[in-house]
Structure 1
Amino acid sequence: MRRTVHRHLGKVVAGTAIAVAGTAAMVAITLPGTAGADESGGTGKAAGSTQQQAADGQGAAPGVVQQAPAEGEKGKGRDPLTDDETQRVERIAVNQQLLNSSENVEGKRGPQRLDVELANPGPSELDNPNAPRRADVTFYDYKDDTVVTKTVNLDTGKVEQTGTQHGVQPPASHAEDVEAAELLLASPLGAGLKADYKDATGNELTSPDQLLLTAMVYKATPGRQSGVFDQCGEHRCVRLFPKVKNGPWIDARDFVIDLSARKVGKLTG
Protein backbone atom coordinates (compact mmCIF):
# COMPACT_ATOMS: atom_id res chain seq x y z
CA MET A 1 0.00 0.00 0.00
CA ARG A 2 2.72 2.48 0.91
CA ARG A 3 4.51 1.71 -2.35
CA THR A 4 1.30 2.38 -4.32
CA VAL A 5 0.63 5.73 -2.64
CA HIS A 6 4.19 7.00 -3.01
CA ARG A 7 4.36 5.94 -6.63
CA HIS A 8 1.44 8.14 -7.57
CA LEU A 9 2.07 11.23 -5.44
CA GLY A 10 2.56 14.21 -7.66
CA LYS A 11 0.33 17.14 -6.78
CA VAL A 12 -0.32 19.16 -3.65
CA VAL A 13 -3.74 20.77 -3.19
CA ALA A 14 -4.60 22.74 -0.03
CA GLY A 15 -1.64 21.18 1.76
CA THR A 16 -2.74 17.62 0.96
CA ALA A 17 -0.76 15.20 -1.20
CA ILE A 18 -2.95 14.14 -4.11
CA ALA A 19 -2.42 11.27 -6.50
CA VAL A 20 -3.52 11.59 -10.11
CA ALA A 21 -4.59 8.05 -11.00
CA GLY A 22 -7.98 8.04 -12.74
CA THR A 23 -10.49 10.88 -12.60
CA ALA A 24 -10.58 10.87 -8.83
CA ALA A 25 -7.30 11.01 -6.89
CA MET A 26 -6.00 9.28 -3.78
CA VAL A 27 -5.25 11.48 -0.81
CA ALA A 28 -2.31 10.22 1.20
CA ILE A 29 -2.65 11.60 4.72
CA THR A 30 -5.45 13.97 5.70
CA LEU A 31 -9.11 14.42 4.93
CA PRO A 32 -9.44 17.19 2.33
CA GLY A 33 -10.90 20.51 3.45
CA THR A 34 -13.71 22.30 1.69
CA ALA A 35 -13.21 24.70 -1.18
CA GLY A 36 -15.25 26.59 -3.73
CA ALA A 37 -18.96 26.97 -3.19
CA ASP A 38 -20.66 27.89 0.06
CA GLU A 39 -20.88 24.71 2.11
CA SER A 40 -21.94 23.54 5.51
CA GLY A 41 -20.74 20.17 6.65
CA GLY A 42 -20.42 17.53 9.29
CA THR A 43 -19.55 13.92 9.65
CA GLY A 44 -22.16 11.31 8.96
CA LYS A 45 -23.44 9.48 11.98
CA ALA A 46 -23.87 5.74 11.91
CA ALA A 47 -27.28 4.59 13.06
CA GLY A 48 -28.34 1.21 14.36
CA SER A 49 -30.51 -0.92 12.12
CA THR A 50 -33.53 -0.51 14.38
CA GLN A 51 -33.29 3.27 14.35
CA GLN A 52 -32.78 3.39 10.61
CA GLN A 53 -35.77 1.15 9.95
CA ALA A 54 -37.86 3.55 12.00
CA ALA A 55 -36.55 6.46 9.98
CA ASP A 56 -37.21 4.71 6.70
CA GLY A 57 -40.79 4.04 7.73
CA GLN A 58 -40.53 0.27 7.85
CA GLY A 59 -42.71 -1.99 9.95
CA ALA A 60 -46.00 -0.07 9.79
CA ALA A 61 -48.82 -1.06 7.46
CA PRO A 62 -50.98 1.70 5.92
CA GLY A 63 -53.97 2.56 8.06
CA VAL A 64 -52.73 0.66 11.10
CA VAL A 65 -52.42 2.54 14.40
CA GLN A 66 -49.38 1.25 16.26
CA GLN A 67 -49.29 0.75 19.98
CA ALA A 68 -47.20 3.19 21.96
CA PRO A 69 -43.67 1.77 22.20
CA ALA A 70 -42.43 0.46 25.53
CA GLU A 71 -40.44 2.98 27.51
CA GLY A 72 -37.41 0.74 28.02
CA GLU A 73 -34.31 2.14 29.73
CA LYS A 74 -34.71 5.78 30.75
CA GLY A 75 -32.20 8.48 31.50
CA LYS A 76 -32.54 11.13 34.18
CA GLY A 77 -32.31 14.90 34.05
CA ARG A 78 -29.76 16.00 31.46
CA ASP A 79 -28.31 12.53 30.95
CA PRO A 80 -27.77 11.69 27.27
CA LEU A 81 -30.61 9.85 25.59
CA THR A 82 -30.47 6.09 26.03
CA ASP A 83 -30.77 3.80 23.01
CA ASP A 84 -34.27 2.85 24.16
CA GLU A 85 -35.28 6.51 24.42
CA THR A 86 -33.88 7.25 20.95
CA GLN A 87 -35.84 4.41 19.37
CA ARG A 88 -39.00 5.39 21.21
CA VAL A 89 -38.70 9.03 20.14
CA GLU A 90 -38.35 8.06 16.49
CA ARG A 91 -41.40 5.81 16.61
CA ILE A 92 -43.50 8.47 18.31
CA ALA A 93 -42.36 11.22 15.91
CA VAL A 94 -43.17 9.31 12.71
CA ASN A 95 -46.96 9.26 12.90
CA GLN A 96 -49.13 7.77 10.17
CA GLN A 97 -49.57 11.08 8.35
CA LEU A 98 -45.82 11.78 8.15
CA LEU A 99 -45.12 8.17 7.26
CA ASN A 100 -47.50 8.18 4.32
CA SER A 101 -46.73 11.67 3.01
CA SER A 102 -42.91 11.65 3.03
CA GLU A 103 -39.97 9.94 1.33
CA ASN A 104 -36.49 9.00 2.48
CA VAL A 105 -33.21 9.22 0.56
CA GLU A 106 -33.95 5.95 -1.27
CA GLY A 107 -37.38 7.17 -2.37
CA LYS A 108 -39.17 4.85 0.04
CA ARG A 109 -42.11 5.71 2.27
CA GLY A 110 -41.26 7.65 5.42
CA PRO A 111 -38.87 10.56 6.11
CA GLN A 112 -35.09 10.28 6.34
CA ARG A 113 -33.93 10.40 9.94
CA LEU A 114 -31.02 12.80 10.42
CA ASP A 115 -30.53 13.26 14.14
CA VAL A 116 -32.02 12.73 17.59
CA GLU A 117 -30.77 14.77 20.54
CA LEU A 118 -31.85 15.79 24.01
CA ALA A 119 -33.86 19.01 23.88
CA ASN A 120 -33.03 22.02 26.03
CA PRO A 121 -35.41 22.66 28.93
CA GLY A 122 -37.81 25.59 28.77
CA PRO A 123 -36.88 28.88 30.48
CA SER A 124 -39.12 28.11 33.45
CA GLU A 125 -37.60 24.63 33.84
CA LEU A 126 -33.91 25.53 34.06
CA ASP A 127 -33.72 25.08 37.84
CA ASN A 128 -36.21 22.24 38.03
CA PRO A 129 -34.45 18.88 38.57
CA ASN A 130 -37.72 17.10 37.75
CA ALA A 131 -38.33 18.89 34.45
CA PRO A 132 -39.63 16.53 31.76
CA ARG A 133 -37.10 14.98 29.42
CA ARG A 134 -37.68 15.95 25.82
CA ALA A 135 -35.94 15.02 22.59
CA ASP A 136 -35.68 16.82 19.25
CA VAL A 137 -35.77 14.47 16.27
CA THR A 138 -34.87 15.86 12.85
CA PHE A 139 -35.92 14.32 9.54
CA TYR A 140 -35.45 15.22 5.90
CA ASP A 141 -38.44 14.73 3.63
CA TYR A 142 -37.17 14.10 0.11
CA LYS A 143 -40.68 14.38 -1.30
CA ASP A 144 -40.64 18.17 -0.97
CA ASP A 145 -37.10 18.91 0.32
CA THR A 146 -38.26 19.87 3.79
CA VAL A 147 -36.52 19.58 7.13
CA VAL A 148 -39.00 18.40 9.77
CA THR A 149 -38.15 18.74 13.47
CA LYS A 150 -40.36 17.28 16.19
CA THR A 151 -40.03 17.74 19.92
CA VAL A 152 -41.19 14.70 21.87
CA ASN A 153 -41.93 14.68 25.59
CA LEU A 154 -40.46 11.42 26.86
CA ASP A 155 -42.57 11.52 30.01
CA THR A 156 -45.92 11.79 28.25
CA GLY A 157 -44.97 10.14 24.95
CA LYS A 158 -46.49 13.02 22.99
CA VAL A 159 -45.21 15.34 20.27
CA GLU A 160 -45.25 18.83 21.76
CA GLN A 161 -43.97 20.81 18.79
CA THR A 162 -43.42 20.37 15.05
CA GLY A 163 -41.39 22.66 12.83
CA THR A 164 -40.74 22.59 9.07
CA GLN A 165 -38.09 24.48 7.10
CA HIS A 166 -37.21 24.78 3.42
CA GLY A 167 -33.75 25.62 2.10
CA VAL A 168 -32.08 24.40 5.29
CA GLN A 169 -29.47 21.66 4.97
CA PRO A 170 -28.31 19.94 8.18
CA PRO A 171 -25.26 17.63 8.09
CA ALA A 172 -25.77 14.42 6.14
CA SER A 173 -26.62 11.14 7.85
CA HIS A 174 -24.74 7.90 7.31
CA ALA A 175 -27.59 6.54 5.18
CA GLU A 176 -27.27 9.58 2.92
CA ASP A 177 -23.50 9.10 2.67
CA VAL A 178 -24.09 5.53 1.51
CA GLU A 179 -26.76 6.51 -1.01
CA ALA A 180 -24.50 9.24 -2.43
CA ALA A 181 -21.75 6.65 -2.92
CA GLU A 182 -24.23 4.30 -4.60
CA LEU A 183 -25.21 7.03 -7.06
CA LEU A 184 -21.59 7.95 -7.79
CA LEU A 185 -20.59 4.33 -8.36
CA ALA A 186 -23.55 3.85 -10.73
CA SER A 187 -22.61 6.96 -12.71
CA PRO A 188 -20.01 7.09 -15.51
CA LEU A 189 -18.35 9.79 -13.39
CA GLY A 190 -17.54 7.12 -10.80
CA ALA A 191 -14.99 5.45 -13.11
CA GLY A 192 -12.08 7.37 -11.59
CA LEU A 193 -13.09 6.44 -8.05
CA LYS A 194 -13.20 2.78 -9.07
CA ALA A 195 -9.83 3.06 -10.81
CA ASP A 196 -8.18 4.60 -7.76
CA TYR A 197 -9.66 1.98 -5.46
CA LYS A 198 -8.32 -0.81 -7.66
CA ASP A 199 -4.95 0.89 -7.86
CA ALA A 200 -4.81 1.09 -4.05
CA THR A 201 -6.13 -2.38 -3.24
CA GLY A 202 -5.93 -4.53 -6.35
CA ASN A 203 -9.67 -5.22 -6.00
CA GLU A 204 -12.75 -3.99 -7.82
CA LEU A 205 -14.92 -1.39 -6.08
CA THR A 206 -18.52 -2.56 -6.35
CA SER A 207 -20.19 -1.39 -3.12
CA PRO A 208 -20.07 1.54 -0.68
CA ASP A 209 -19.50 -1.07 2.04
CA GLN A 210 -15.89 -1.26 0.84
CA LEU A 211 -15.30 2.37 1.83
CA LEU A 212 -15.35 4.53 4.92
CA LEU A 213 -17.60 7.44 3.97
CA THR A 214 -17.91 11.05 5.04
CA ALA A 215 -20.02 13.62 3.19
CA MET A 216 -20.39 17.38 3.38
CA VAL A 217 -23.51 19.23 2.36
CA TYR A 218 -22.99 21.32 -0.77
CA LYS A 219 -24.79 24.58 -1.56
CA ALA A 220 -24.48 26.27 -4.92
CA THR A 221 -23.19 29.82 -5.11
CA PRO A 222 -25.56 31.96 -7.23
CA GLY A 223 -24.07 32.80 -10.58
CA ARG A 224 -21.17 30.35 -10.30
CA GLN A 225 -22.73 26.98 -11.08
CA SER A 226 -25.31 25.82 -13.55
CA GLY A 227 -27.00 22.65 -14.66
CA VAL A 228 -26.92 19.87 -12.08
CA PHE A 229 -25.73 22.24 -9.33
CA ASP A 230 -28.06 25.22 -9.62
CA GLN A 231 -30.65 23.81 -7.21
CA CYS A 232 -28.17 22.62 -4.58
CA GLY A 233 -29.29 24.24 -1.36
CA GLU A 234 -32.94 23.83 -2.18
CA HIS A 235 -32.11 20.26 -3.15
CA ARG A 236 -30.12 17.98 -0.86
CA CYS A 237 -26.61 17.84 -2.37
CA VAL A 238 -23.37 16.46 -0.97
CA ARG A 239 -19.70 16.02 -1.79
CA LEU A 240 -18.13 12.72 -0.75
CA PHE A 241 -14.82 12.07 1.02
CA PRO A 242 -14.34 8.31 0.66
CA LYS A 243 -11.52 6.39 2.30
CA VAL A 244 -10.19 2.95 1.50
CA LYS A 245 -10.61 0.80 4.60
CA ASN A 246 -7.14 0.62 6.18
CA GLY A 247 -5.87 2.69 3.28
CA PRO A 248 -5.72 6.20 1.78
CA TRP A 249 -8.40 8.79 1.25
CA ILE A 250 -9.69 9.10 -2.31
CA ASP A 251 -10.23 12.66 -3.44
CA ALA A 252 -13.73 12.92 -4.93
CA ARG A 253 -14.23 16.63 -4.18
CA ASP A 254 -14.93 17.48 -7.80
CA PHE A 255 -18.14 15.44 -7.74
CA VAL A 256 -21.47 16.72 -6.44
CA ILE A 257 -24.29 14.27 -5.81
CA ASP A 258 -27.79 15.74 -5.88
CA LEU A 259 -29.67 13.30 -3.65
CA SER A 260 -33.02 14.97 -4.33
CA ALA A 261 -32.74 14.66 -8.12
CA ARG A 262 -30.57 11.52 -7.91
CA LYS A 263 -27.99 13.01 -10.29
CA VAL A 264 -24.20 13.28 -10.24
CA GLY A 265 -22.20 16.17 -11.66
CA LYS A 266 -18.60 17.37 -11.76
CA LEU A 267 -17.33 20.79 -10.75
CA THR A 268 -15.12 22.58 -13.25
CA GLY A 269 -12.59 25.34 -12.88
Structure 2
Amino acid sequence: MGKNVRTVNHRHLGRVLAGAAVAATATAVLIGVTLPDSASGGEGSGGGPQGSAAEQGQAARQLPGVVESPPAQGKTGKGRDPLTDAELKRARTLTLGQSFRESGEDVTGGKGPEQLSTDLAELTPDEVGAAAPPRRADVTYYDYSDDTYVTKTVDLGSGKVERTDTQRGVQPPPNRDEAREAARLLIADKLGQELKKDFKDATGKALTSPDQLTVTGFVYRTGVDGPGPAATRDCGKHRCVRLFTKVTDGGPWIDTRQLVIDLSARSVARLGS
Protein backbone atom coordinates (compact mmCIF):
# COMPACT_ATOMS: atom_id res chain seq x y z
CA MET A 1 0.00 0.00 0.00
CA GLY A 2 2.76 2.46 1.00
CA LYS A 3 4.65 1.72 -2.21
CA ASN A 4 1.56 2.41 -4.33
CA VAL A 5 0.92 5.71 -2.54
CA ARG A 6 4.51 6.81 -3.09
CA THR A 7 4.27 5.92 -6.79
CA VAL A 8 1.10 7.96 -7.16
CA ASN A 9 2.69 10.89 -5.33
CA HIS A 10 5.74 10.80 -7.60
CA ARG A 11 3.54 10.74 -10.69
CA HIS A 12 1.43 13.61 -9.41
CA LEU A 13 4.51 15.67 -8.57
CA GLY A 14 5.92 14.89 -12.00
CA ARG A 15 2.79 16.22 -13.69
CA VAL A 16 2.73 19.37 -11.56
CA LEU A 17 6.39 20.21 -12.11
CA ALA A 18 6.33 19.28 -15.78
CA GLY A 19 3.55 21.81 -16.35
CA ALA A 20 5.41 24.44 -14.36
CA ALA A 21 8.59 23.74 -16.29
CA VAL A 22 6.88 24.28 -19.64
CA ALA A 23 5.42 27.61 -18.50
CA ALA A 24 8.68 28.74 -16.95
CA THR A 25 10.62 27.76 -20.07
CA ALA A 26 8.39 29.96 -22.21
CA THR A 27 8.91 32.84 -19.78
CA ALA A 28 12.66 32.29 -19.80
CA VAL A 29 12.77 32.42 -23.59
CA LEU A 30 10.90 35.73 -23.60
CA ILE A 31 13.23 37.14 -20.97
CA GLY A 32 16.23 36.02 -22.98
CA VAL A 33 14.93 37.91 -26.01
CA THR A 34 13.81 41.14 -24.36
CA LEU A 35 16.18 41.73 -21.47
CA PRO A 36 19.34 42.77 -23.32
CA ASP A 37 17.52 45.53 -25.27
CA SER A 38 15.47 46.82 -22.35
CA ALA A 39 18.39 46.85 -19.95
CA SER A 40 21.08 48.31 -22.17
CA GLY A 41 20.64 51.91 -20.97
CA GLY A 42 23.88 53.75 -20.43
CA GLU A 43 25.80 50.83 -19.01
CA GLY A 44 27.12 49.51 -22.30
CA SER A 45 30.79 50.08 -22.90
CA GLY A 46 30.24 51.05 -26.53
CA GLY A 47 33.59 49.49 -27.33
CA GLY A 48 33.15 49.33 -31.09
CA PRO A 49 36.30 49.35 -33.22
CA GLN A 50 38.24 51.36 -30.64
CA GLY A 51 37.37 48.87 -27.90
CA SER A 52 38.51 46.03 -30.13
CA ALA A 53 41.82 47.73 -30.86
CA ALA A 54 42.36 48.36 -27.15
CA GLU A 55 41.79 44.69 -26.41
CA GLN A 56 44.27 43.68 -29.08
CA GLY A 57 46.81 46.14 -27.74
CA GLN A 58 46.38 44.81 -24.21
CA ALA A 59 46.82 41.25 -25.43
CA ALA A 60 50.01 42.23 -27.24
CA ARG A 61 51.40 43.80 -24.06
CA GLN A 62 50.51 40.73 -22.02
CA LEU A 63 52.02 38.26 -24.46
CA PRO A 64 54.73 40.00 -26.50
CA GLY A 65 55.63 38.29 -29.72
CA VAL A 66 52.42 36.21 -29.87
CA VAL A 67 50.40 36.87 -33.02
CA GLU A 68 47.16 35.01 -33.62
CA SER A 69 46.04 34.43 -37.19
CA PRO A 70 42.31 34.86 -37.84
CA PRO A 71 40.44 31.57 -38.29
CA ALA A 72 39.82 30.32 -41.81
CA GLN A 73 36.59 31.38 -43.47
CA GLY A 74 35.16 27.91 -44.04
CA LYS A 75 31.68 27.47 -45.49
CA THR A 76 29.59 30.65 -45.33
CA GLY A 77 25.89 31.30 -45.65
CA LYS A 78 24.24 33.88 -47.87
CA GLY A 79 21.93 36.77 -47.06
CA ARG A 80 19.86 35.93 -44.00
CA ASP A 81 20.64 32.20 -44.02
CA PRO A 82 21.28 30.77 -40.54
CA LEU A 83 24.91 30.80 -39.46
CA THR A 84 26.82 27.76 -40.65
CA ASP A 85 28.91 25.62 -38.31
CA ALA A 86 32.04 27.23 -39.74
CA GLU A 87 30.62 30.73 -39.15
CA LEU A 88 29.64 29.86 -35.58
CA LYS A 89 33.16 28.68 -34.84
CA ARG A 90 34.72 31.71 -36.55
CA ALA A 91 32.48 34.15 -34.67
CA ARG A 92 33.36 32.67 -31.29
CA THR A 93 37.08 32.60 -32.05
CA LEU A 94 37.14 36.20 -33.29
CA THR A 95 35.10 37.62 -30.40
CA LEU A 96 36.91 35.74 -27.66
CA GLY A 97 40.39 37.05 -28.43
CA GLN A 98 43.51 36.56 -26.34
CA SER A 99 42.79 39.35 -23.84
CA PHE A 100 39.19 38.32 -23.14
CA ARG A 101 40.21 34.68 -22.89
CA GLU A 102 42.90 35.51 -20.33
CA SER A 103 40.89 37.96 -18.21
CA GLY A 104 37.44 36.34 -18.31
CA GLU A 105 36.12 33.57 -16.08
CA ASP A 106 33.55 30.87 -16.80
CA VAL A 107 30.99 29.27 -14.50
CA THR A 108 33.50 26.74 -13.12
CA GLY A 109 36.15 29.39 -12.43
CA GLY A 110 38.20 28.45 -15.49
CA LYS A 111 39.83 30.92 -17.87
CA GLY A 112 37.64 32.57 -20.47
CA PRO A 113 34.07 33.91 -20.09
CA GLU A 114 31.02 31.65 -20.24
CA GLN A 115 29.73 31.62 -23.82
CA LEU A 116 25.93 31.83 -23.96
CA SER A 117 24.73 32.31 -27.54
CA THR A 118 25.75 33.07 -31.12
CA ASP A 119 23.16 34.58 -33.48
CA LEU A 120 23.01 36.26 -36.85
CA ALA A 121 23.05 40.01 -36.19
CA GLU A 122 20.34 42.35 -37.47
CA LEU A 123 21.03 44.48 -40.52
CA THR A 124 21.18 48.27 -40.35
CA PRO A 125 18.31 50.10 -42.13
CA ASP A 126 20.48 51.01 -45.13
CA GLU A 127 21.59 47.38 -45.54
CA VAL A 128 18.08 45.94 -45.71
CA GLY A 129 17.29 44.92 -49.27
CA ALA A 130 20.93 44.92 -50.38
CA ALA A 131 21.87 42.22 -52.88
CA ALA A 132 24.73 40.96 -50.72
CA PRO A 133 24.33 42.33 -47.18
CA PRO A 134 27.18 41.78 -44.73
CA ARG A 135 26.97 38.80 -42.43
CA ARG A 136 27.59 39.67 -38.82
CA ALA A 137 27.21 37.62 -35.66
CA ASP A 138 26.23 38.66 -32.13
CA VAL A 139 28.08 36.52 -29.61
CA THR A 140 27.07 36.79 -25.94
CA TYR A 141 29.10 35.88 -22.87
CA TYR A 142 28.73 36.02 -19.11
CA ASP A 143 32.00 36.97 -17.42
CA TYR A 144 32.04 35.64 -13.87
CA SER A 145 35.20 37.61 -13.05
CA ASP A 146 33.13 40.80 -12.73
CA ASP A 147 29.50 39.65 -13.27
CA THR A 148 29.03 41.30 -16.65
CA TYR A 149 26.94 40.33 -19.65
CA VAL A 150 28.97 40.99 -22.79
CA THR A 151 27.71 41.13 -26.38
CA LYS A 152 30.24 41.32 -29.21
CA THR A 153 29.26 41.95 -32.82
CA VAL A 154 31.69 40.69 -35.45
CA ASP A 155 31.74 41.07 -39.23
CA LEU A 156 32.28 37.52 -40.45
CA GLY A 157 33.67 38.71 -43.77
CA SER A 158 36.37 41.08 -42.54
CA GLY A 159 36.88 39.37 -39.18
CA LYS A 160 36.56 42.73 -37.40
CA VAL A 161 34.82 43.03 -34.03
CA GLU A 162 32.67 46.08 -34.70
CA ARG A 163 30.98 46.58 -31.35
CA THR A 164 31.29 45.46 -27.73
CA ASP A 165 28.46 46.07 -25.27
CA THR A 166 29.04 45.34 -21.57
CA GLN A 167 26.14 45.39 -19.11
CA ARG A 168 25.60 44.64 -15.44
CA GLY A 169 22.40 43.35 -13.89
CA VAL A 170 21.28 41.65 -17.11
CA GLN A 171 20.59 37.96 -16.55
CA PRO A 172 19.63 35.91 -19.63
CA PRO A 173 18.58 32.26 -19.17
CA PRO A 174 21.44 30.00 -18.04
CA ASN A 175 23.00 27.58 -20.49
CA ARG A 176 23.37 23.84 -19.99
CA ASP A 177 26.82 24.08 -18.37
CA GLU A 178 25.55 26.65 -15.86
CA ALA A 179 22.57 24.47 -14.92
CA ARG A 180 24.89 21.49 -14.49
CA GLU A 181 27.29 23.48 -12.29
CA ALA A 182 24.35 24.70 -10.20
CA ALA A 183 23.31 21.07 -9.65
CA ARG A 184 26.87 20.15 -8.68
CA LEU A 185 27.00 22.97 -6.11
CA LEU A 186 23.60 21.94 -4.72
CA ILE A 187 24.63 18.30 -4.34
CA ALA A 188 27.77 19.36 -2.45
CA ASP A 189 25.92 21.79 -0.15
CA LYS A 190 24.21 20.91 3.13
CA LEU A 191 20.94 22.22 1.68
CA GLY A 192 21.19 19.46 -0.92
CA GLN A 193 20.58 16.76 1.69
CA GLU A 194 16.84 16.59 0.95
CA LEU A 195 17.54 16.24 -2.77
CA LYS A 196 19.94 13.38 -2.07
CA LYS A 197 17.44 11.69 0.25
CA ASP A 198 14.63 11.94 -2.32
CA PHE A 199 16.96 10.60 -5.00
CA LYS A 200 17.91 7.63 -2.79
CA ASP A 201 14.22 6.92 -2.08
CA ALA A 202 13.42 7.01 -5.80
CA THR A 203 16.36 5.00 -7.12
CA GLY A 204 17.95 3.16 -4.22
CA LYS A 205 21.26 4.79 -5.19
CA ALA A 206 23.35 7.63 -3.76
CA LEU A 207 23.33 10.94 -5.64
CA THR A 208 26.93 11.99 -6.23
CA SER A 209 26.98 13.68 -9.65
CA PRO A 210 24.86 16.04 -11.80
CA ASP A 211 25.04 13.36 -14.51
CA GLN A 212 22.44 11.40 -12.53
CA LEU A 213 19.93 14.23 -12.99
CA THR A 214 18.19 16.05 -15.80
CA VAL A 215 18.17 19.71 -14.79
CA THR A 216 16.74 22.90 -16.28
CA GLY A 217 17.88 26.21 -14.84
CA PHE A 218 15.93 29.46 -14.53
CA VAL A 219 17.27 32.82 -13.45
CA TYR A 220 16.35 34.11 -10.00
CA ARG A 221 16.50 37.86 -9.24
CA THR A 222 15.73 39.30 -5.83
CA GLY A 223 13.05 41.96 -6.07
CA VAL A 224 11.78 40.63 -9.38
CA ASP A 225 11.07 37.02 -8.42
CA GLY A 226 10.29 37.84 -4.77
CA PRO A 227 11.97 39.57 -1.83
CA GLY A 228 14.01 36.52 -0.85
CA PRO A 229 16.12 35.98 2.27
CA ALA A 230 19.24 38.01 3.06
CA ALA A 231 21.41 35.31 1.49
CA THR A 232 19.91 36.08 -1.93
CA ARG A 233 20.11 39.89 -1.77
CA ASP A 234 22.79 40.02 -4.47
CA CYS A 235 20.83 37.87 -6.93
CA GLY A 236 20.36 40.00 -10.03
CA LYS A 237 23.80 41.50 -9.65
CA HIS A 238 25.05 37.95 -9.19
CA ARG A 239 24.17 35.05 -11.48
CA CYS A 240 21.56 33.08 -9.49
CA VAL A 241 19.42 30.17 -10.66
CA ARG A 242 16.72 27.80 -9.49
CA LEU A 243 16.48 24.28 -10.85
CA PHE A 244 13.78 21.94 -12.06
CA THR A 245 15.29 18.57 -11.25
CA LYS A 246 14.41 15.14 -12.59
CA VAL A 247 15.97 11.72 -12.16
CA THR A 248 17.48 10.58 -15.47
CA ASP A 249 16.07 7.76 -17.61
CA GLY A 250 12.44 8.64 -17.04
CA GLY A 251 12.64 8.95 -13.26
CA PRO A 252 10.44 11.22 -11.11
CA TRP A 253 10.73 14.96 -10.63
CA ILE A 254 12.27 16.11 -7.35
CA ASP A 255 11.10 19.50 -6.14
CA THR A 256 14.07 21.85 -5.63
CA ARG A 257 12.29 25.09 -6.54
CA GLN A 258 12.77 26.63 -3.08
CA LEU A 259 16.55 26.50 -3.40
CA VAL A 260 18.54 29.29 -5.05
CA ILE A 261 22.07 28.65 -6.27
CA ASP A 262 24.29 31.74 -6.53
CA LEU A 263 26.77 30.79 -9.25
CA SER A 264 28.80 33.96 -8.70
CA ALA A 265 29.27 33.40 -4.96
CA ARG A 266 29.08 29.59 -5.32
CA SER A 267 26.57 29.32 -2.48
CA VAL A 268 23.07 27.93 -1.90
CA ALA A 269 20.13 29.52 -0.05
CA ARG A 270 16.57 28.48 0.72
CA LEU A 271 13.63 30.75 -0.07
CA GLY A 272 11.31 31.39 2.85
CA SER A 273 14.08 31.01 5.41
With the length of structure 2 as denominator, give the TM-score of the two structures. Answer: 0.78
Shift of 1:127: 0.5
1:90-139 Cα deviation digits (max 9, x unpaired): 11001122122211111111111011111111111110130011110000
The counterpart of 1:230, out of the listed 225, 228, 233, is 233
SS at match of 1:100: helix
The counterpart of 2:12, out of the listed 17, 31, 40, is 17
**How far apart, CA to CA, are the structure 2 residues paired with 1:42 and 1:186?**
29
Gaps of 5+ in 1: 19-26, 35-39, 44-59
Give yes or no for contact 1:218–1:238 (8 Å, CA) kept in 2: yes
The counterpart of 2:209, out of the listed 201, 207, 210, is 207
Give yes or no for contact 2:17–2:244 (8 Å, CA) kept in 1: no
| Aligned counterparts, 1:1-269, within 5 A | 6-7=5-6, 9=8, 17-18=12-13, 27-28=14-15, 30-31=17-18, 33=20, 41-42=28-29, 63=63, 64-221=66-223, 224-245=227-248, 246-268=250-272
Moved more, 93-102 or 256-265: 93-102
Moved more, 231-240 or 77-86: 77-86
1:116-172 Cα deviation digits (max 9, x unpaired): 111111111110130011110000011111001000111111101110101100110
Structure that is richer in helix per residue: 2
Between the two proteins, the alignment pairs up a number of residues equal to 233
Give the aligned CA root-mean-square deviation in angstroms: 2.5
Give yes or no for contact 1:65–1:96 (8 Å, CA) kept in 2: no
**How far apart, CA to CA, are the structure 1 residues paired with 2:207 and 2:251?**
14
**How far apart, CA to CA, are the structure 2 residues paired with 1:172 and 1:5?**
37
1:175-210 Cα deviation digits (max 9, x unpaired): 101110110011011111112222222222211112
Shift of 1:28: 4.3
**How far apart, CA to CA, are the structure 1 residues paired with 2:142 and 2:114?**
5
**How far apart, CA to CA, are the structure 1 residues paired with 2:173 and 2:252?**
24
The 1:78/1:182 distance shift into structure 2, 3 A limit, reads same
Structure scoring higher RCO (CA < 8 A, sep ≥ 6) equals 1
Give yes or no for contact 2:259–2:270 (8 Å, CA) kept in 1: yes
Structure that is richer in strand per residue: 1
**How far apart, CA to CA, are the structure 2 residues paired with 1:188 and 1:92?**
42
With the length of structure 1 as denominator, give the TM-score of the two structures. Answer: 0.79
